[in-house]
Amino acid sequence: MKLDKRLWVLVFICVINSLGFGIIVPLLYAYGKTFGLTSQSLGFLMASFSIAQFFATPVLGSLSDKYGRKPLLAISLIGTCISFLMFAWAQGIIILFAARILDGLTGGNISVAQAIISDTSTPADRAKKFGILSSALGFGFIIGPAIGGFLSNYGAQIPFFFAAGVSLLGALATIFFLEETNGNRRQKGPREKFFNFSTLYTTLKLPVIGTAIFIGFLLTMAQFSMILGFQKFTVDVLHLSKGNIGFLYAVFAATGVIMQFCMQWILNIIKSRSMILFLSTFCCFAAMLLTGFTTALIPFIVWICVYGLFNGLRNPMLNAIIADNNKNQGQGRILGVNQSYTSLGQILGPIAAGLVSPRSVHYIFFLSAAFIAVAFGFTFVFKGKGHATA
């Protein structure tokens, strides 16, 4: 693939952005417990971010269609920076929720980054570029938890200050180094209605696109249920230190990045993106089901990493299929809607996991496996759509 300067600048920005997120995720439960946070209220804290993001992301995506990707990406990163500072200075649970809501309201960076990829790619190289973007995000998730665990030794707030700093660095990189990719933005009329929330429903009825978005929604529910289970299992069952939790989460995140290096090899062997999605979803289901039966560290690491490995194929395949079949809608708008349903999965997953967690932490992993099983059922429909292939 020919060197694309904008792609590699975007990769750098995404590494910085995901680094900040990766730093705090493994620490949320332990940090929140100092404010009296339980596993149930942690689910609502995680959901508050996603509720705000659910409503804000499609609007930000539409605004990026009209005014450009660059300013919206910079604004979202600045909002993330401020939210991390609020988290570090929080004196109570209310501020923790306010910080996560602010981050959600300005959290359009993923959909805008995906729109940039769509702007600068062709159908032939789109899946590969989405894979590179996923690798960039995954790399931040790998080193972020390790950094967060290390920095927590110097104070509970230090990881959040560091995350704020790297988010600010990402915003500056966007402003000074990223070129605008939406060349058609000035062709839109000033009175154009930039977004209608009925689009959240009507988009699901679009051929191929609607199916892909709904599958992504279910798999996101599974992943964010698992994340809450991961935190509770490592803290309450395995009794790991913050540093070890960060390291273990980094190992889990690394599996998704490893899969990105195999992306082109997989695409050369299996031409159909829907078939890749079908097979990877089945493997994720099996791994998560087996995770639910584990009680010790080693089998937990094995099955979580198997899940992470095949889950790494999800976003590149789904995003490429959505972009390939999006002919008449703005890329920012459709990818924003997709991110909204991702946010909805991030809302419902932790809440559902929090509700079953009092019975047993193992129920969380069984719940995650159930969500994956439903998504797997929809891939049978998806496989029948011949035009949903590479």
pLDDT at 101 over 60: yes
- Exposed (0-12), middle (13-18) or buried (19+): which is 359, by Cβ within 10 Å? exposed
From the DSSP assignment, how many helices (H) and strands (E) are in the chain?
17, 0
pTM above 0.95, yes or no: no
Of 86 and 143, the one with more pLDDT: 86
Give the chain's domain count: 1
Residue 228 within any structural domain of the chain: yes
Residue 103 within any structural domain of the chain: yes
Residue 189 within any structural domain of the chain: no
pLDDT per position as a tens digit, 363-384: 999 999 999 999 999 888 765 5
Share the mean pLDDT of the chain.
80
pLDDT per position as a tens digit, 293-310: 998 999 999 999 999 999
Residue 110 within any structural domain of the chain: yes
Residue 389 confidence class, pLDDT cut points 50, 70, 90 = very low
Helix 5-24 / helix 69-89 crossing angle, nearest 10 deg: 20
pLDDT per position as a tens digit, 245-291: 878 877 887 887 788 778 778 878 887 788 888 899 999 999 999 99
Residue owning tokens 């995003």: 319
Residue 17 within any structural domain of the chain: yes
Residue 386: predicted pLDDT: 45
- Across 121-130, 192-201, 318-327, least confident range: 192-201
Residue 82: predicted pLDDT: 93
Q: What angle do CA 354, 358, 360 make, to 5 degrees?
A: 105
Residue 1 within any structural domain of the chain: no
Of 353 and 199, the one with more pLDDT: 353
Give the domain range for residue 252. 7-180+199-388
- Exposed (0-12), middle (13-18) or buried (19+): which is 165, by Cβ within 10 Å? middle
- Token pair belonging to 235: 């803290």
8 A C-beta contact, residue 58 and residue 344: no
Q: How far apart are CA 272 and CA 26, in angstroms?
A: 35
- What CATH number is given to the structural domain containing 17? 1.20.1250.20
Residue 186: predicted pLDDT: 45
User: Residue type at 221?
Assistant: M
Residue 188 within any structural domain of the chain: no
% of the chain residues with pLDDT over 90: 16
Residue 190 within any structural domain of the chain: no
Q: How far apart are CA 250 and CA 96, in angstroms?
A: 24
Residue owning tokens 């990406």: 73
